[in-house]
Amino acid sequence: MDTLRTRQQTGSVSSLRGVASLLLKTEGASGLFKGIAAPLATSAAYNALCFQVYASAGRALSRKHGEPLSYLHSFLAGCAAGAATTLMVTPVDLIKIAQQTTAGRAAGTVRIARNIVRREGVLGLFRGAPVTLLRDVPSTGVYYAAYDASRDALGSRHSTGANASTLLAGSLAGCAAWLSIYPLDVIKSRQQADPHMYKGWVDCARRSVAKEGWRVLWRGLPACLLRAAVVNAFIFGAYEASMELLVKPPKRGQEKK
């Protein structure tokens, strides 16, 4: 789904069916998994950092320790987490998109990173960082606030462990986060895919809309939402299950006095 989304965002074929058909015809099923190495290698570290910064910021914002965060505090803590992860996300996305948009066999992760550094210096790995920051700060805030709101609506915010409501709330949170900033993701993908065409993300947005209309800013959304619904259900399910396992309440009679 992520590969198809990127191809829709950056290529000339706009429909999901058209992109999938062309990719399978020219590159086979393996083409669907282009660019998987960098995200796979960093996903655990990314989520660990994101959840830890969110928790730390939430404790700093909350007046009553142990009480659920308000939606505003959850949003603000999520914004802090989005800002903290930008430096990790930018080079990973840059390399992933370079592999996903290459016709035929793409170069390996290390070779692409080395080529970027040779041509543009180390800062070249952070091409697209400003628009990534603009994308991730509010969307991560929406992500956590939407998760809390969904769990409240489902009556499961105070429950522990992974269950059906956790998975559903995670799906809804992921979709809400992407919907809140999706046009910025399209611009980011285009800027990172073709560094020589645009002067920056504002120029990329202006020229893309002028050439293809406002609809281009929503290209690839169905594939994105399908992916988000599944991925974030498992992320929050794994998180809640891990917290239940690792942070067990004391047994009766063993509480601190």
- Do the domain assignments include residue 55? yes
Is the confidence at residue 56, as pLDDT, over 60? yes
pLDDT confidence tier of residue 123, bands split at 50, 70 and 90: very high
Is the confidence at residue 256, as pLDDT, over 60? no
- Do the domain assignments include residue 251? no
Q: What DSSP letter does each residue of the chain carry, written as one string?
A: -HHHHHHHHHSS--SHHHHHHHHHHHH-GGGGGTT-HHHHHHHHHHHHHHHHHHHHHHHHH-SSTTSPPPHHHHHHHHHHHHHHHHHHHHHHHHHHHHHHTSSSSPPPHHHHHHHHHHHH-GGGGGTTHHHHHHHHHHHHHHHHHHHHHHHHHTT-TT--S--HHHHHHHHHHHHHHHHHHHHHHHHHHHHHH-TTT-SSHHHHHHHHHHHH-GGGGGTTHHHHHHHHHHHHHHHHHHHHHHHHHHSPPPPTT-S--
pTM, 2 dp? 0.91
Residue 154 CB: number of other CB atoms within 10 A? 16
Q: Rounded mean pLDDT of 43-70?
A: 89
> How many structural domains does the chain have?
1
- Do the domain assignments include residue 225? yes
- Do the domain assignments include residue 147? yes
Model confidence pLDDT, tens digit, residues 179-225: 999 999 999 999 999 888 999 999 999 999 999 999 999 999 999 99
At 257 the pLDDT is: 43
**For the chain, what is the mean pLDDT?**
92
- Do the domain assignments include residue 256? no
Provide, rounded to the nearest whole percent, the portion of the chain with pLDDT above 70.
93
- Do the domain assignments include residue 38? yes
Segments forming the whole domain that contains residue 18: 2-245
CATH number, domain with residue 145? 1.50.40.10
Is the confidence at residue 244, as pLDDT, over 50? yes
At 227 the pLDDT is: 97
Model confidence pLDDT, tens digit, residues 131-180: 999 999 999 999 999 999 999 999 877 676 778 999 999 999 999 999 99
- Do the domain assignments include residue 255? no
- Do the domain assignments include residue 252? no
